[in-house]
Amino acid sequence: MLRNALSAATRSALQQSRTATTLSAGFPKVTQRLPTKYGGVYTVTLIPGDGIGGEITDSVKEIFEHVNAPIEWEQYDVSGVSSAGEDLFKQAMESLKRNRVGLKGILFTPISQTGHISWNVAMRQQLDIYASVVMCKSLPGFPTRHSNVDFAIIRENTEGEYSGLEHQSYPGVVESLKVSTRAKAERIARFAFDFALKNNRKKVTCVHKANIMKLGDGLFLNTFRRIAEEYKSLGIVSNDMIIDNTSMQLVAKPGQFDVMVMPNLYGAIISNIGAALVGGPGIVPGCNIGRDYALFEPGCRHVASDIMGTNRANPTAMVLSATMMLRHLGLDSIANSIASATFDVINAGEVRTADMGGAATTSEFTDAIIKKL
């Protein structure tokens, strides 16, 4: 429970908080294969990523070492800055398939037509880690425009606009295909409702654009509505909202949202709005869950190359993503300790990185967490 992870000064105000938070989120039991474990130690694939990835994953490694977490890293310094790292990327993929659990930063994806495809997307598609989960929750001690924001974003991770199927049918005319399938729409809808049940959440909102994309988004929406009928008797309320209205409603009245489920591209947009509501990309954790694999990464997929190497990055999102990974592995007590220390540092307000209005370095923020442990 979140109240166990916060300082005594904030516990009374949060006693009714739900368990699906950045500290503790229960996931539907979709993973069938167990993670790799030898002698009580889990082997986890680590991909620091580009930009600030190396700095914030170093924070995680320092904290894990301090608490003696039973994790052994298989690290692959993959970079998406050029296609020259493709061989290393393939090695990292083999490691993920072997270990079944990974922690990663964000890999750069070039905009140029001559650049390689997104390796972030390739991982999700090849491993079929179809459910992206991003937790957006107000943190005690760090006030933003809206208080008591608390919702989960469930994003279909493997199709939609990210299918990567484009061609030039005539000079100056490009066709980009959005692929939607009933099977994957049903799969992600069930995941969202099961997530709501497991985490004591009461409403699931489907985000779509079926008024314009009547076949593609219409299929997603109609599938959602059909699945929603199966959960009515379990006390889960459902509704749906067009993506543009959703964006406005999030900024105006975020408290109306609980669990949100949506196709791929809309998830990219909404997760960034959600992060802005609670303090920025530096504090929002996330993960990608599939039948056989789980990959944990910050909820907002930013490389942040503008502050790379300056020791100014906020490691909170990566640290909390790592605690979600620990819970996935059944290491709840260690996860709770680390998340509790992180929340206590934020609540105290004495050590804050630049994005939170402070002047602390990444190293200083990491040290502050360790001192709380």
Tell me, what's the pLDDT at 121? 82
Nearest-angstrom CA–CA distance, 202 and 258: 7
> 79-108, pLDDT tens digit by residue?
877 766 788 989 999 999 999 999 999 888
Tell me, what's the pLDDT at 250? 97
Q: Is the pLDDT of residue 1 over 80?
A: no
Tell me, what's the pLDDT at 116? 57
Nearest-angstrom CA–CA distance, 24 and 26: 7
Q: Can you give the pTM of this predicted structure? A: 0.88
Place of tokens 């991770």: 157
Average pLDDT over residues 15-34: 51
Tell me, what's the pLDDT at 28? 63
Q: Is the pLDDT of residue 302 over 70?
A: yes
What are the strands, taking DSSP E only, across 139-180? 150-156, 160-170, 173-179
> 312-349, pLDDT tens digit by residue?
999 999 999 999 999 999 999 999 999 999 999 999 99
Tell me, what's the pLDDT at 18? 46
**What is the maximum alpha-carbon separation in the chain?**
65
Contact (CB, 8 A) for 47 and 54:
no
Q: Is the pLDDT of residue 270 over 90?
A: yes
User: How far does Cα 187 stand from its chain's mean position?
Assistant: 18
Q: Is the pLDDT of residue 7 over 50?
A: no
Helices then strands (H, E): number in the chain? Answer: 11, 13
Tell me, what's the pLDDT at 144? 93
Q: Is the pLDDT of residue 113 over 90?
A: no
Highest mean pLDDT among 22-36, 85-99, 194-208: 194-208
Tell me, what's the pLDDT at 108? 82
Question: Lowest mean pLDDT: which of 13-22, 33-42, 153-162, 240-249?
Answer: 13-22
Instruction: Quote the radius of gyration of the chain (alpha carbons, Å).
Output: 20
Band of pLDDT at residue 54, cut at 50, 70 and 90 = very high
Band of pLDDT at residue 305, cut at 50, 70 and 90 = confident
Average pLDDT over residues 162-189: 92
Band of pLDDT at residue 32, cut at 50, 70 and 90 = low
Contact (CB, 8 A) for 297 and 134:
no
> 286-297, pLDDT tens digit by residue?
999 999 999 999
- Burial grade of 234 (CB within 10 A; 0-12, 13-18, 19 or more): exposed
Mean model confidence pLDDT for the chain: 89
For residues 347, 135, 287, 158, the Cα torsion angle rounded to the nearest 10 degrees is: -160
Average pLDDT over residues 166-193: 94
